[in-house]
Amino acid sequence: MVSMCTRRTPAFLIAFTLSAFGAFSSFGETAKSQVVDRELTSKNFAGNRVGVSPVRKMMIYLPAGYDGSTKRYPVIYFLPTPFESYRVPFDKKNAQGLFDRAIAAEVIDKFILVCVDMTTPLGSSWYVNSPVTGNWEDFMIQELVPYIDANLRTLPNRNSRGIAGDFMGGYGAVRFGMKYPDVFGSVYALHPVGTGSGLKIMDSLPDWDLLANAKSLDDVKKDGASQIFTTIFQAHLPNVDKPPLFIDLSARRVDGQLVIDSKLMERLRNNFFLESMIPRYADNLKSLRGLKIDWSRSDLNQDHVYSNQALTHKLNEFGIVHEAEEYNGAWGEPNWGEDGRIYTDVLPFFRRHLIFEAESGPS
């Protein structure tokens, strides 16, 4: 059963005070955009083993004039990096003001944006169904998108629905577009990770002794790489019979040597790396209205640079039309602000590829 809770600042308070989200746009229009909080209580996290809450929270940007019209709008779903709260773009980076300015400057037409919390207690859910962390893919496709279309004035079709994400969120954006092009017609991935093999082998990164001997989820938080890989394994190598991490380990240390389980590694690579999924979903990717990935040349982890370069080559090998950009800078530099990539690249991309008016024909 899906339930929701809505909180909206009363209109008379907005008229006399500035809300926490900057209700009046900086360009002086009397019409104002809104940012509203919503919650969904999902059935898709029943039985998860790591304490994932079934109450999934989100923030929604509604453009100026939304309340005073019957117009329908395209929707962009945004998956933020799980290293930050889903609230950060609006609470700390003034996403609302940036969107207002972009619309005023005709960088993009009016749109709705949904920023949703898709994290587990350890970090990224990797946007997949897992008996350990819950069914994130089903939550997105079967609950969240239908809920937004039922409760907001959207243009409820793939031509007017896009998805974008940052870092692990970029991975999720490509994965959803890859598997569900009938739901998301346009995809932009900001510096995605998990796209393919890097310069180092994947199993060289975690602390295998720490993972093998962990007594609680908190133990793996002692090492950043091990925490990240625990989330990967909970998504792609889950084992409900192996508490407290509930994972199978694709490698172990024996007398100081790394021993890799070949079958588990094959299973992990085939289902985790986006590069490995391209042959299965090439036709889906070809059907997208638009696809773009970008990555920063000076990422301190050059595995990300290498794997994204390889990803765009493989997309080309399968004849998948897309945009790819390696830009000068390091991941973590601001994406927000009028000089950030959200304003200069992401929003113009969606202006080109989304349909902003109702279509008379089939979607």
Q: Where are the alpha helices (DSSP H) in 87-223?
A: 88-91, 95-104, 136-138, 145-151, 168-179, 208-213
Of 179, 176, 161, 193, the residue nearest 289 (C-alpha): 161
Give all strands (DSSP E) within 233-322, no chain letters: 251-254, 257-260, 290-296
- Per-residue pLDDT band for 361 (boundaries 50, 70, 90) equals low
Please state the pTM of the whole predicted model: 0.90
Of 281, 268, 275, 269, the residue nearest 293 (C-alpha): 275
- Per-residue pLDDT band for 171 (boundaries 50, 70, 90) equals very high
Q: How far is CA 217 from CA 46, 129, 134, 223, 245, in A?
A: 19, 20, 16, 12, 6
CA 125/CA 135 separation, integer angstroms: 9
In this predicted model, what pLDDT tens digit does every residue of 84-131 receive, in sequence order? 999 999 999 999 999 999 999 999 999 999 999 999 999 999 999 999
Of 245, 220, 219, the residue nearest 233 (C-alpha): 245
Identity at 173, one-letter amino acid code: A
Predicted local confidence at residue 27, as pLDDT: 39
Identity at 115, one-letter amino acid code: C
- Per-residue pLDDT band for 196 (boundaries 50, 70, 90) equals very high
Helix or strand run (H / E) with residue 14: helix 11-16
- On whether the CB atoms of residues 147 and 2 are closer than 8 A, the answer is yes
- On whether the CB atoms of residues 76 and 164 are closer than 8 A, the answer is yes
In this predicted model, what pLDDT tens digit does every residue of 53-63 receive, in sequence order? 999 999 999 99
b/e sequence 59-95, b meaning 16+ C-beta within 10 Å? bbbbbbebeeeeebbbbbbbbbbbbbbbbbbbeebbb
Helix or strand run (H / E) with residue 76: strand 75-79
